[in-house]
Structure 1
């Protein structure tokens, strides 16, 4: 059985969500937002390819920790560091 590749997102209210990703992740390259409720993560995989996943943005607080179970990857971000995706925001309007 193949081992699942998972990312954990820890939110400021002490909740967390586990997301399955297609490949083993090496780094979070970019966090963007097209709508208020979701953030898009651009992930660099260990094989050099890229993947995108959409996560829930925090409902309260500011800082979010994105990590692997073994903590080989830990990435902290806050709302003010999230880039606004103007192209897709235009479609939403």
Structure 2
């Protein structure tokens, strides 16, 4: 059971500011969600295969076959809209 104090802590961790009205409104809603999870835990799932996807798909990728190579941009075309470039490369700010 989630108390109002628990909800305040969850909101603090989530960096959310909740009004007193929101706290009163969401505490019972969160408790009803947790109660529903409790009901789901009671369902007998013995012998039920795990479902990883709702559709029975095994591999949706196409075969990797050699073909016509993709058209690539030239270096000048690739750098045409770059805000900053240096020595034929994109120039980006230093990372720390």
Give the alignment's TM-score, normalised by structure 1: 0.18
Answer with 1 or 2: which has the greater Rg: 2
Structure with the bigger percentage of helix: 2
